[in-house]
Structure 1
Amino acid sequence: MSPNTHISLFFFLSISLPVLSSPYFSPPTFLPNYQNMLKSFKIFTYTPPQPLVFSTPAESLFFSSLMNSSYLTQDPEQAHLFFVPFSSATPTRSLSRLVNALRTDLPFWNRTLGADHFYVSCDGIGFNSDRNLVELKKNSVQISCFPTQRSSFVPHKDVTLPPLADPHHAPVINETKNYLGYVKYGAVKKSSLVNELRDDQDFLVERQPSDVLTCEWRLSVSKFCLLEYGDGDISGISDAVRFGCVPVVITDRPIQDLPLMDVLRWQEIAVFVRWENKSGGGSGGAKRLRHVLDRTYGDEKRYEEVRGSCVTAGQHFVWNEEPQPLDAFHLMMYQLWLRRHTIRYARSEVA
């Protein structure tokens, strides 16, 4: 947001929505389906053409966790999905040759034109005219980092990795909230809104806390954490959720790449506020933001329900070196499990 940005705020959620006690879609079926996945899900992984190098720790953790998991099978006929491993910096031509080799040497790609395959690419793969890359992009499930570029993400097919949350620091959930909101630059660009919030004693605004423990304390004693989707750094959403600091996400468009969107009802654990650029500049954004928060969560009981859902969801944002039940790795696998049903083309229909 620039200093000349006029903040137009509106709450994406309807205040008349029924109050829910769970952050999950279909709470009665979530855990039974999860247990079924643990028992049944099988993945066949192709041998990478060279040692893999990933650009982010989350990608590396996902890959190492998968390789050491019980989900892998050596029998491709038992597999629900197929993993196509390649390094983050793989050139487009090399990636096309890789897919072509799968098409030519093995029968599994052609059965679905890649629809029962998935791959990891933090930045995502853009659209391309090459047949191999077209099928990889349009059909296979892409696992990318959050947030990702709109041009490289296909909603309802692709998924994003939850940003890393430190498993070594157990969240301390304070019942007393000293601040209405916490704003950390880097998470939100310095703008007229940030400058206005500086003058509001109910908001804590700082560039960077002195250390990790200080940041975690800030999260635990603040009702809301302000984050900006798009140009800002929104990776802190994982820690905000874990420490019971309800995320307030400022965005100029609907968000379709939130982590764990197949599992979590994000409207029950976060606030989405829209801003729009308008000519003539403007002030009063902080006042309007405060009005939205007070109007929607002025009822302390409603706020505590949302905060409780936020903390419950927080366990799913933790990445462990050795995966634990219901952590980020297993919830990523659960989202893949939900995508295991694909259309298998008859051999005669394959070009």
Structure 2
Amino acid sequence: MAWRIYAADLICILAIQLLTQAFGITNDTTISQAVVPDFSVQGKIYSEKLNPTRSDLLDVDAVTNSLYLSPLTFRSNYDEMLEKFKIYIYPRKQQDFGSPEWCGDQRFRDLDKHGASFYENLISSDFVTDDPEKAHLFFLPFSLDASGTKSTASVSRFLRRYIDDLKSQYPFWSRTLGADHFYFSCEGILTDSSRSVVELKKNAIQISCYPLALSVEGAKARFFPHKDISMPPVESVTDVHQTPKLQQSDGESRTIFAYHVGAPAGLDSVLQLWKNDPDFVLDPLLPEPNLYFQRLSSSRFCLIFFGDGGNSSILVDAVKFGCIPVIIAQGPLFDVPFQDILNWQEFVIILNMRQVSNLKQTLQNIPESQLQKMKTLAIQASEHLRWHSTPQPYDAFYSLMYQLWLRRHTIRYARRHISS
């Protein structure tokens, strides 16, 4: 009997290890260190729109490296998601339940472009089902006021009432204590002493906007990377305006060593380090679109201070033009978009704030071959960060849905029937 117990335990351990490797799970909350390589095949750069039927998207025989944390798992899981994934949306009409002030279709459309874009794409997709018994996940269609006009106390009161009403009218929340539910909150929510709000914050999946324009500690209180999802900006500058055709420029055609746009609070002394350096271009304000595109396409590196919400689209805009992002942070990054899919450390350079004094030398020491590979992967990654009015394969909406799909495995508690 003992050897049977030991064998069963060994099988469980091996299964957990295989799943951990397949999904790129690490014990650290920072971005995974998995190796992800060059995706250029015979000099061809796949910067056109991705198509799920294209065999060259994931031709492991032709490439030795990949944009993805786990390319084989991603492709097979993505196809399975398209075929099977179902989401039940709780009633959205104002008269159903919850507060009219916080719920309803119009509430989402009026709130902000981020929530509206996701919501419109979701309700028009094939992922939605009218049968909750067929659903893998459940969407909570409330919308918190990201403008700050609502107090923390009023938000907490609404959330308590909303979850309590939902528990009394539907059985699904209590099966998992909310772990198979998700909601949208651009700035993230805080928890309070109410059990319902604690279950929402600790268990349910939160979709928030990148970046959370907060301190590292403030962001940690609003975003739990093991379950929450960060979505890229809905309208980057390169989405709103017509952009020139993306090209894979070589290093010599990029005459600007490093580019930064914005005036992050409290970092004047840091920017002063590069103000008089002719290799750096620092724009305190976002320039007009054509000049902005020229800056991006002519720069080797784009400097981004983590938590600076002044230009939230700079990360997305940079990768579209092959400008290698250099993210400067005071702590680990945990809310970059799609970190369950993309191997960010293969096309983004991450530096600590203590390293800024030697930033130029650090970047100059990177081999040219590595920079070319990073630029290639950055342009390819941009396809996952694009939003479209009608979702396209592998774009931001489908990548977000894929992250939800990965989170569908939750423990459901057995229903207990109490005899009278």
TM-score by length of 1: 0.87
Gaps of 5+ in 2: 1-29, 39-64, 95-99, 146-153, 213-218
Q: Which residue of 1 aligns with 2:369?
A: 301
Structure 1 residue 59: Cα displacement: 1.4
Structure 1 residue 31: Cα displacement: 2.1
Structure 1 residue 229: Cα displacement: 0.8
Work out whether 1:27 is the aligned partner of 2:104: no
Structure 2 vs 1, CA of residues 19 and 189 (structure 1 numbering), >3 Å: closer, same or farther?
farther
Asked whether the equivalents of residues 31 and 334 of structure 2 are also in contact (C-alpha less than 8 Å), the reply is no
Cα distance in 1, alignment partners of residues 286 and 192 from structure 2: 43
Q: Which residue of 1 aligns with 2:271?
A: 194
Q: Which residue of 1 aligns with 2:352?
A: 274
Structure 2 vs 1, CA of residues 188 and 37 (structure 1 numbering), >3 Å: closer, same or farther?
farther
Gaps of 5+ in 1: 1-11, 277-283
Q: Which residue of 1 aligns with 2:329?
A: 251
CA distances 1:267-295 after superposition (whole Å, capped 9, x unpaired): 0111111014xxxxxxx945x10111122
Q: Which residue of 1 aligns with 2:12?
A: none
Cα distance in 2, alignment partners of residues 341 and 81 from structure 1: 9
Match of 1:326 among 384, 391, 394: 394
Q: Which residue of 1 aligns with 2:258?
A: 181
Cα distance in 2, alignment partners of residues 339 and 112 from structure 1: 13
Match of 1:169 among 218, 242, 246: 242
Structure 2 vs 1, CA of residues 272 and 60 (structure 1 numbering), >3 Å: closer, same or farther?
same
Structure 1 residue 247: Cα displacement: 0.7
Asked whether the equivalents of residues 318 and 327 of structure 1 are also in contact (C-alpha less than 8 Å), the reply is yes
Larger Rg: 2
Aligned length: 329
Q: Which residue of 2 aligns with 1:73?
A: 129
Match of 1:292 among 352, 362, 383: 362
Structure 1 residue 208: Cα displacement: 2.7
Q: Which residue of 1 aligns with 2:170?
A: 106
Letter in 2 for 1:214: L
Work out whether 1:59 is the aligned partner of 2:115: yes
Asked whether the equivalents of residues 262 and 311 of structure 2 are also in contact (C-alpha less than 8 Å), the reply is no
Structure 2 vs 1, CA of residues 188 and 309 (structure 1 numbering), >3 Å: closer, same or farther?
farther
Asked whether the equivalents of residues 227 and 233 of structure 1 are also in contact (C-alpha less than 8 Å), the reply is no
Cα distance in 2, alignment partners of residues 234 and 210 from structure 1: 11
Letter in 2 for 1:82: F
Match of 1:88 among 122, 131, 144: 144
Q: Which residue of 2 aligns with 1:225?
A: 302
Structure 2 vs 1, CA of residues 91 and 241 (structure 1 numbering), >3 Å: closer, same or farther?
same
Cα distance in 2, alignment partners of residues 178 and 237 from structure 1: 20
Q: Which residue of 2 aligns with 1:122?
A: 186
SS in 2 for 1:197: coil
Structure 2 vs 1, CA of residues 309 and 188 (structure 1 numbering), >3 Å: closer, same or farther?
farther
Q: Taking every aligned residue pair, what percent have the same amino acid on both sides?
A: 40
Cα distance in 2, alignment partners of residues 327 and 217 from structure 1: 25
SS in 1 for 2:274: helix
Asked whether the equivalents of residues 44 and 72 of structure 1 are also in contact (C-alpha less than 8 Å), the reply is yes
Structure 2 vs 1, CA of residues 14 and 304 (structure 1 numbering), >3 Å: closer, same or farther?
farther
CA distances 1:24-49 after superposition (whole Å, capped 9, x unpaired): 11112322221211111100000134
Structure 2 vs 1, CA of residues 117 and 191 (structure 1 numbering), >3 Å: closer, same or farther?
same
Structure 2 vs 1, CA of residues 347 and 221 (structure 1 numbering), >3 Å: closer, same or farther?
same
Q: Which residue of 2 aligns with 1:143?
A: 207
Q: Which is worse superposed, 233-242 or 76-85? A: 233-242
Letter in 2 for 1:87: S
Cα distance in 1, alignment partners of residues 223 and 270 from structure 2: 30
Structure 1 residue 18: Cα displacement: 7.8
Asked whether the equivalents of residues 141 and 183 of structure 2 are also in contact (C-alpha less than 8 Å), the reply is yes
CA distances 1:189-221 after superposition (whole Å, capped 9, x unpaired): 652231221222211122235311211121111
Asked whether the equivalents of residues 188 and 227 of structure 1 are also in contact (C-alpha less than 8 Å), the reply is no
Q: Which residue of 2 aligns with 1:152?
A: 222
Cα distance in 2, alignment partners of residues 125 and 84 from structure 1: 14
Structure 1 residue 340: Cα displacement: 0.5
Cα distance in 2, alignment partners of residues 66 and 45 from structure 1: 10
Q: Which residue of 1 aligns with 2:317?
A: 239
Structure 2 vs 1, CA of residues 39 and 258 (structure 1 numbering), >3 Å: closer, same or farther?
same
Structure 1 residue 321: Cα displacement: 1.1
Cα distance in 2, alignment partners of residues 210 and 251 from structure 1: 24
Structure 2 vs 1, CA of residues 234 and 26 (structure 1 numbering), >3 Å: closer, same or farther?
farther
Q: Which residue of 2 aligns with 1:3?
A: none
Asked whether the equivalents of residues 43 and 83 of structure 1 are also in contact (C-alpha less than 8 Å), the reply is yes
Q: Which residue of 1 aligns with 2:17?
A: none
Give the superposed CA RMSD: 2.5
CA distances 1:22-79 after superposition (whole Å, capped 9, x unpaired): 2211112322221211111100000134332364312110011001111000011110
Q: Which residue of 2 aligns with 1:97?
A: 161
